[in-house]
Structure 1
């Protein structure tokens, strides 16, 4: 019995130490296979490049902080050469860029400088900025509503004029939106509703305090009676400032499209809102095993095949959580955020823990 109990404690201690090591203070750790030099190519992102050099790519500011040549790591261009070297035993990434002199003549051709590389591939995440958002379910219900047109048409598209209810006519530019789904976390708490953008709309005439005429334009999908109007906001392409999460702990809820399985490069919903997290915050993704019950009288041998069999129904042992991936918050709302899964070593299905990486 004593031997069995000791082995159980050793097994639990081993699992716990794995968890503790995963949440220790962040240290710069250069990959063993990191290249000495790297030439930036079109399509690279800061995350891609940092992943080549670091085990924890979100720590790239620490790698570049002592290098005056890279005053702003967000202004690195295709063709630049990055070189890894060490100062007093600490890794430093330097930029090797020739500053050639250019003489302009009347026959010179002016070319546009390539755009600096971004943190994450904008082409992959842009859709989740310009085509929809999340909002509180109660606030969605209170939005102005599309009523219809004078001909009783079932659908409305470009240049159509429609009657709307309770629009603030002191504001002229709106978007027509439609509810896709309401999102709940694993505890049943509503995180809000996902809405898709259908078209733009402009207030053209006020009939009364509660009735306005709006013109539909820039239509992506036909609007219909019952759709809502929300104030238009311009989406700006902004680079993310990566920062590891600290005390924030939450849940990966689901794929943003409602798909069952989640993999690397998918966009997901997490149950942490704008008050606790900003775009650019990096989280680790963790899975927690089921609690294990065991009988004190059972014999035990620490083997992979017996880890469940040796514990019976008398007491419970809580398993630690193991890291299975990472994600970066790209957009925050009132009660939830969208995040890009940068990597995962397994298929995710929602319900995973997110915490400091």
Structure 2
């Protein structure tokens, strides 16, 4: 990640938040006082008071309670902002949406709750280098807004091609894209035995690579590029139920000819040697875009870290992990889940039975690809060493203050 400059206007953001919090505390005290007075007045009525007076008193109390709750919501909104958040920040190349969220918010996954879209700006959810993120007042609560940066182009006698601006990604794309081109998951409805496969190389080699040709048995329905895959890990839940089959990308090829029931594939790239029996399938469409925002799931999600592709035992920041929760569980790209480190397994001093101690929240993972029952996520934060089997769940801001 490129070094960044915070562009902080010293003192303004802290003073602004201090003023807002002071105003909120005053409103809360005033509402509490009025509520107490109303309750006192209610108690002062004798039991023979007229019905319409009781109705007025009940209505007043209800209004005051609603006001008190609203004041609490405003205060909660203010707590989302970091104490050291800049008043303005100019986005630079190399930033990610997660990085920027972390500059302003105590919890980056709360971004949608404070992001204020300007309808006068084209594609306001896309943020580009040179844009300015600012703290604003939105009806008495702090929010974040966007000032679109202006491209400065120097004119010269020569005609120059101006590169198209690229929006900042939600997370480090170089890590994720490299992974997505090499891994995919298929579910139980996908029959591997029915897929086309390599039967031989073009020159009777046992293994082949880029520049070689291979013969494929099975129907290739269209011209163009195909992926060559080899079965990897089979994912199962704690009860042994099938969740998904991982496929490892070996390379890519282009259909060059058909000869009876066989097709000839020219190998364009190879990450490993291509062997007889390797599967040939249409390339998976990579749906990762810079448009999804870090956010919590809309519903409660419970799951575990299934595996770390590549066989790593201990997990840290920017490691890709497989989770046993997918689209059927409500998990989508952009969802952020808290990771709970498994509690230590100890022995009961009396019964000698194994006892698992409670777990502790130890990190955050952001989902970037979800399948039916499995998802891939990138660990964005880890303050402890994580392992396969650690629990993941919908984050809660109160529990996660320990991560700061």
TM over 0.5: yes
The 2-side partners of 1:326 and 1:286 are apart by: 9
Aligned twin of 2:6: none
Q: Does residue 196 in structure 1 map to residue 234 in structure 2? A: no
Q: Does residue 123 in structure 1 map to residue 174 in structure 2? A: yes
Q: Deviations over 1:38-70 (max 9, x none)?
A: 221111011101011111212212212265566
Unaligned runs of 5+ in 1: 1-24, 295-308
Aligned twin of 1:179: 231
Aligned to 2:98, what secondary structure does the other structure show? helix
Going from structure 1 to structure 2, the CA distance change for 1:202 and 1:149 (only over 3 Å counts) comes to same
Q: Does residue 322 in structure 1 map to residue 360 in structure 2? A: yes
What TM-score do the two structures reach when normalised by structure 2?
Answer: 0.68
More helix by share: 2
Q: Does residue 77 in structure 1 map to residue 128 in structure 2? A: yes
The 1-side partners of 2:273 and 2:152 are apart by: 55
The 1-side partners of 2:165 and 2:357 are apart by: 50
Going from structure 1 to structure 2, the CA distance change for 1:348 and 1:185 (only over 3 Å counts) comes to farther
Going from structure 1 to structure 2, the CA distance change for 1:165 and 1:101 (only over 3 Å counts) comes to closer
Q: Does residue 224 in structure 1 map to residue 275 in structure 2? A: yes
- How many residue pairs align between the two structures? 315
Going from structure 1 to structure 2, the CA distance change for 1:67 and 1:235 (only over 3 Å counts) comes to closer
Aligned to 2:304, what secondary structure does the other structure show? strand
Aligned twin of 2:31: none
Aligned twin of 1:21: none
Unaligned runs of 5+ in 2: 1-72, 396-404
The 2-side partners of 1:92 and 1:107 are apart by: 44
The 2-side partners of 1:107 and 1:212 are apart by: 50
The 2-side partners of 1:340 and 1:258 are apart by: 15
Aligned to 1:334, what secondary structure does the other structure show? coil
Among 261, 281, 284, the alignment partner of 1:233 is: 284
Q: Does residue 332 in structure 1 map to residue 370 in structure 2? A: yes
Matches within 5 A, 1:148-297: 148-149=200-201, 151-170=203-222, 173-209=225-261, 211-235=262-286, 237-239=288-290, 240-245=292-297, 246-276=299-329, 277-289=331-343
8 Å Cα contact 2:202/2:212 also seen in 1: no
The 2-side partners of 1:332 and 1:154 are apart by: 36
8 Å Cα contact 1:289/1:319 also seen in 2: yes
8 Å Cα contact 2:341/2:386 also seen in 1: no
Q: Deviations over 1:263-295 (max 9, x none)?
A: 01111000112333221111111235368897x
Aligned to 2:179, what secondary structure does the other structure show? helix
Matches within 5 A, 1:124-143: 124-136=175-187, 139-143=191-195
Of stretches 235-244 and 64-73 in structure 1, the one that deviates more from structure 2 is 64-73
8 Å Cα contact 1:69/1:94 also seen in 2: no
Going from structure 1 to structure 2, the CA distance change for 1:124 and 1:151 (only over 3 Å counts) comes to closer
Matches within 5 A, 1:20-99: 28=77, 29-65=80-116, 67-68=118-119, 72-97=123-148
Higher relative CO (Cα under 8 Å, sequence separation at least 6) belongs to 1
The 2-side partners of 1:107 and 1:160 are apart by: 44
Aligned alpha-carbon RMSD (Å): 3.3
Quote the offset at 1:346 in angstroms.
0.5
8 Å Cα contact 1:74/1:119 also seen in 2: no
The 2-side partners of 1:108 and 1:144 are apart by: 50
